[in-house]
Amino acid sequence: MPPRRNAEVVRRTAETRVRVAVDLDAHDPERRSATGIGFFDHMLDQLARHSGLGLVVEAEGDRHIDDHHTVEDVGIALGQALHEALGDKAGIARYADCHLPMDGTLTRVALDVSGRPFLVFRTTFRTAKIGSFDTELVREFFTAFAMNARVTLHVETLYGDNDHHIAEACFKGLARTLGAAVRVAGPGGAIPSTKGAL
C-alpha cells in the first residue's frame, strides 16, 4: 500500500504563528481556515474545496500592523507542506492547466510540479482593497506558495473588471490545477521526469 501523502508544517516567527496541514489523498478531507482575515479565509476555502484536497490553516499574526506577514507566512507554510506531502512525486500527473471563468472574469492557470520554483503572475486589480483586504497580497500569497512548494506556476487574468471575481478566479484556478497535477494515476507509477527526479 502506498504511503499516505500528508504533512503538517508549523511556522513561528516574531510576526506570526501558522499551522498548515495538507492531505492529498483523504476520502473525506478536513477543510477549514482560520486566519482572522475574512476574505483570505474565503479564498483558502475555495482553494481547498476546488482542489479536492484536505487543507487546515490556522494563523495568528501582527495584524495590528497589516495583513501582509500573515498572508505571506500562510503561503510559505502551505508551500512547504505540499512539497513535503508529495514525497518523491512518483506517479503524479505533474502538469495541469485550466481556464477558470468567474462571471465576467477569465483567468488562465498553468502548473508544473517541477521542483523548480518560478512564478509568472499577470493579474492586475482596479482597486487597492477588496473590503479590508489589500489586493496586492494576492500576488504575495502566490509568490510565497510557488517558491516554497517548488513549483512553476503561471497565472494570467485574460479579462475581468470585478476585483473579487479576479482574485477568486486566481485561487480557484490554482485549486483546479493543483488537484489535477498531484493526482496519482495508480500504484507503482514512475517519477514523471526524464531526469528520474523532481
Using one digit for the tens of pLDDT, what is the confidence trace for 61-82? 999 999 999 999 999 999 999 9
Residues 6+ apart with CB under 8 A from 143: 75, 119, 121
CA distances to 92, 134, 181 from 131, in Å: 38, 8, 32
CATH of the domain at 150: 3.30.230.40
pLDDT of residue 186: 66
pLDDT of residue 198: 81
Q: 189 lies in a domain? A: no
Q: 187 lies in a domain? A: no
The whole-angstrom separation of Cα 109 and Cα 155 is: 5
Q: 88 lies in a domain? A: yes
Q: 48 lies in a domain? A: yes
The whole-angstrom separation of Cα 100 and Cα 70 is: 26
Q: 196 lies in a domain? A: no
Q: 139 lies in a domain? A: yes
Check pLDDT > 80 for residue 38.
yes
pLDDT of residue 1: 60
Q: 192 lies in a domain? A: no
The whole-angstrom separation of Cα 154 and Cα 133 is: 23
Q: What percentage of the chain has pLDDT greater than the value 90? A: 90
The domain tally of the chain equals 1
pLDDT of residue 196: 77
- Type of residue at 187: P
pLDDT of residue 195: 80
Query: Is the full-model pTM beyond 0.85?
Result: yes
Please state, rounded to an integer, the average pLDDT across all residues of the chain: 95
Tracing cell 482593497 back to the chain, one arrives at: 129
Q: CB-based burial of residue 156 (10 Å sphere; 0-12 exposed, 13-18 middle, 19+ buried)? A: middle
Residue 164 bridge partners (DSSP):
none
Residues 6+ apart with CB under 8 A from 186: 91
Check pLDDT > 90 for residue 156.
yes
Q: How confident is the model at residue 188 (pLDDT cuts 50, 70, 90)?
A: low
Q: How confident is the model at residue 187 (pLDDT cuts 50, 70, 90)?
A: low
pLDDT in tens, 98-143: 999 999 999 999 999 999 999 999 999 999 999 999 999 999 999 9
> Kind and range of the H or E element at 45?
helix 38-51
Q: 61 lies in a domain? A: yes
Quote the domain boundaries for residue 166: 6-181
Find the mean pLDDT for residues 41-49.
98
Check pLDDT > 80 for residue 179.
yes
Tracing cell 495590528 back to the chain, one arrives at: 64
